[in-house]
Amino acid sequence: MKYVVKLGGASLEQPELLQAIGKAIADLVADGHRVAVVHGGGVQLTRTLAQMGKESQFISGLRVTDAETRDAALMVLAGRVNKSLVASLNQQGQSAVGICGGDGQVFRARKKRTTPDLGFVGEIAATDPRWIEAIWTMNSVPVISSIALGFDGEYYNINADEMAAATAACVKADALVFLTDVPGVKGADGTVMRWLSLRDVPALQQNSVISGGMLPKLNACRDALQAGVKRVRILPAEAARVLPDLISSRVEQGTEVMAA
């Protein structure tokens, strides 16, 4: 089966947690599954920007990205964060190949049209799975940073949740799992919803039950389900050990997002 696992920047900050995630991914591959990892790095990018004297600004969970911020994102996400994750997987005995969305033209982007303008923030316009599949044939794991090359020759910062959904659609994944630093999607009473239908999301958003960074994540869940991905789950990173059981067993942690 094909898995796409999205890692948030916060989980990449904790060596023991990252080790557990790497082991779960290695176990999936050992069981014969094909796994692609998509990662963010917002925490690391925000810290680097602060060191550069730049304040980070977000609108509806998306980072406002001028040219200098975009260049920093390319350095941090496609550079240090990506290669650190490759190294972590290799420590678990699992071969991994780090790429960004511009490599091999796996992902092509266009500027995201928003009001107000977000700068060099893009959305995926075209995909080509051949390089991902080539990495899989070598029993390796593609590790994909959320940067993509536009048709205009510019690199664009892509929300990592959107990149994960585009990856899952591109490879016709059986499961897409978002490993996050939250226990799942919380309802109005503050408890984690074990199941969430897409039809309930607009009302939750209107009532401000969900907001901020959860909005692009749920939009990404919707895109993946509409593209034919069978299972989509938002899972706390601490529960990464259950990844090998996700398809075959009942998993209690996190939130299962369903098309209806």
Q: Which residues are annotated as a binding site for substrate?
A: 41-42, 63, 157
Spacing of C-alpha 61 from chain mean position: 14
Hey, what's the torsion of the CAs at 244, 250, 254, 255, to 10 degrees?
120
Q: How far is CA 80 from CA 9, 34, 196, in A?
A: 12, 24, 35
Q: CB–CB of 192/236 below 8 Å? A: no
Phi, psi of 94 (to 5 degrees): -105, 120
Cα gap 146→41, rounded to integer Å: 9
For 233, residues 6+ apart whose C-beta sits below 8 A from its C-beta are 175, 176, 177, 178, 246, 251, 254, 255, 256, 257
Phi, psi of 70 (to 5 degrees): -60, -45
Q: Please give the structure tokens belonging to residue 258.
A: 């369903």
Residue type, 34: R
Q: H helices of 4-41, where? A: 15-30
Q: CB–CB of 107/131 below 8 Å? A: no
Find tokens 């994944």 and name the residue: 173
Q: Which residues are annotated as a binding site?
A: 41-42, 63, 157
Q: CB–CB of 236/185 below 8 Å? A: no
